[in-house]
Chain A
Amino acid sequence: MKRIGVFICHCGINIAGTVDIEKLTSQIKEYPNVVHVENYKYMCSSPGQQLINQQIMDKNLDAVVVAACSPSLHENTFRTSVQRVEMNPYNCEIANIREQCSWVHDDKQIATDKAAKIIKSMVEKTVLDEPLMPITVPVNRKALVIGGGVAGMQAALNIANNGYEVILVERESSIGGHMAMLSETFPTLDCSQCILTPKMVEVDQHPNITLITYSEVVEVSGFVGNFKVKIKQKAKYVDWEKCNGCGDCITECPINTPSEFEQQLGERHAIYRPFPQAVPNKVIVDMDECIQCMVCQVFCPTDAIDFNQKDSIVEQEVGAIVLATGYQLYSLKNLPEYGGGEIEDVIDGLAFERLLSASGPTQGVVKRPSDGKIPQDVVFIQCAGSRDPENHMPYCSRICCMYTAKHAMLYKHRVHQGRAYIFYMDIRSGGKDYEEFVQRVMEEERVVYLRGKVSRLYEEDGKVVVCGTDTLTRRNVEIKADLVVTATPIRPIEDIDQLSKLFKISINQNGFLTEAHPKLRPVESLTSGIYLAGCAQAPRDIPDTVAQASGAASMVCALFSSDQLYHDPIIAGVDEDLCSGCGICVGVCPYSARTLNREKGIVEVNEVLCEACGACSAACPSGAAQQRNFTDIQLKNMVKAILG
Chain B
Amino acid sequence: MSEQKLKPKVAFYWCASCGGCEEAVVDLAEDILDVVEKIDIVFWPVAMDFKKQDVENYSNGEIAVSFINGAIRTEEQLEMARLLRKKSQLVVAFGSCSHLGGIPGLANLYSREDLFDTYYNKLPSNDNPRKILPLTETETDKGTITLPEIHRTVKALNQVINVDYYLPGCAPPPDLILNAIQAILENNLPPLGSVLAPEKSLCDTCPRKDSKPDKILIKKINRISLTEIPPDKCFLAEGVICMGPATRSGCGERCINANMPCRGCFGPTSAVEDQGAKFLSALTSIIDSEDEQEIKAILDSVIDPTGLFYMYSLASSVKRKYQDFK
Q: Which residues of A contact B (CB under 8 A)?
A: 575, 577-588, 595-596, 598, 601, 615, 618-624, 626, 632, 636
Q: Which residues of chain A are within 8 angstroms of B214 by Cβ–Cβ distance?
A: 583, 586, 595-596
Number of interface residues of B (CB under 8 A): 31
**Mind listing 27 A-B residue pairs with CB under 8 Å?**
A578-B200, A578-B270, A578-B271, A580-B200, A580-B203, A581-B209, A583-B213, A583-B215, A587-B215, A587-B217, A587-B286, A587-B288, A596-B214, A598-B210, A618-B281, A618-B285, A619-B282, A619-B286, A620-B282, A621-B268, A621-B272, A622-B246, A622-B269, A622-B271, A622-B272, A623-B268, A626-B271
Is B245 an interface residue, CB under 8 A from the partner? yes
Known contacts A580-B202, A586-B215: does B209 contact A621 (CB below 8 Å)? no
Complex Cα–Cα for A266 and B217 (A): 53
Chain B, residues 233-262, CB within 8 Å of chain A (1/0): the string is: 000000000001110010000000000000
Interface residue? B216 (CB, 8 A) = yes
Contacting residues, chain B, for A578 (C-beta < 8 A): 199-201, 269-271
Check if B245 sits within 8 Å of A621, measured CB to CB.
yes
B12 interfacial by beta-carbon distance below 8 Å: no
Nearest B residue to A632 by beta-carbon distance?
B271
CB of A584 within 8 A of CB of B282, answer: yes
- Check A615 against B269 for contact (C-beta < 8 Å): no
> How far is A587 from B285 in the complex, measured between Cα atoms in Å?
8
A583 to B201, CA, bound (A): 12
**In the complex, residue of chain A having the shortest beta-carbon distance to the beta carbon of B210:** A598
* Contacts A578-B200, A601-B204 known; 8 new A-B pairs at CB < 8 A: A578-B201, A580-B202, A584-B245, A586-B214, A587-B288, A595-B214, A619-B282, A622-B246
CA distance A585 to B249 in the complex (A): 19
Q: Is the interface of B mostly helix, strand, loop or mixed?
A: loop
Give bound CA distance, A83 to B278, whole Å: 38
- Note all chain A residues with C-beta closer than 8 A to B203: 580-583
Check B310 for interface membership: any CB of A closer than 8 A. Answer: no
List residues of chain A with CB within 8 A of the CB of B9.
none
Kindly state whether residue B7 has any CB partner on chain A within 8 Å. Answer: no
Q: Which of A586, A622, A623 contacts B216 (CB under 8 A)?
A: A586
Q: Which residues of B contact A595 (CB under 8 A)?
A: 214
Residue of B nearest to A596 (CB): B214
Known interface pairs A579-B200, A580-B202. Does A588 touch B272 (Cβ–Cβ under 8 Å)? no
- Given contacts A622-B269, A623-B272, whether A580 and B245 have CB atoms under 8 Å apart is yes
Decide: A584 and B285 in contact? CB cutoff 8 A. yes
Chain B contacts for A580, CB-based, 8 A: 200-204, 245, 249
Closest to A585 in B: B285
Closest chain B CB from A603 CB (angstroms): 11
Judged by DSSP, the binding face of A is loop
Bound-state Cα–Cα, A329 to B22, Å: 80
A474–B212 CA distance with the chains assembled, in angstroms? 74
CB distance from A241 to the nearest CB of B (A): 41
Interface residues of chain B, those whose CB is within 8 Å of chain A, are 199-204, 209-210, 212-217, 244-246, 249, 268-273, 278-279, 281-282, 285-286, 288
Complex: how many Å from CA A588 to CA B209? Answer: 18
Given contact pairs A582-B203, A584-B245, A588-B286, A619 touches B281 in the complex (Cβ within 8 A): yes
The residue in chain A whose Cβ has the minimal distance to the Cβ of B275 is: A621
A577-B199 in contact (CB<8A) = yes
B285–A622 contact, CB under 8 A?
A: no
Report the minimum CB–CB distance from B33 to chain A (whole Å): 36
- The CA of A578 and the CA of B212, in the complex, are separated in Å by 19
In the complex, what residue of chain A is closest to B281 when comparing beta carbons?
A618
The chain A residue with its CB closest to the CB of B243 is A621
Q: How far is the CA of A390 from the CA of B220 in the complex (A)?
A: 41
Write the nearest CB–CB distance from B323 to chain A, whole angstroms: 18
Distance of A623 Cα from B282 Cα, bound (Å): 11
CB within 8 A of A615: which of B202, B209, B285? B285
A631 to nearest B CB, angstroms?
9
Within 8 Å CB of B272, what residues of A?
621-623
Establish whether residues B200 and A622, one from each chain, have CB atoms under 8 Å apart when the complex forms: yes
Write out the residue numbers on chain A whose beta carbons fall within 8 Å of the beta carbon of B282: 584, 619-621
Q: Which residues of A contact B245 (CB under 8 A)?
A: 580, 582, 584, 621-622
A585→B216 CA distance, assembly (Å)? 9
A636 contacts which chain B residues (CB < 8 A)?
A: 273
Determine how close the nearest CB of chain B comes to the CB of A632; give it in whole angstroms.
Answer: 7
| CB neighbours of B199 from chain A (8 A) | 577-578
Q: Tell me which residues across on chain B come within 8 A of A615, comparing CB atoms.
A: 285
A345 to chain B, nearest CB (A): 47
Bound: A582/B272 CA distance, A: 15
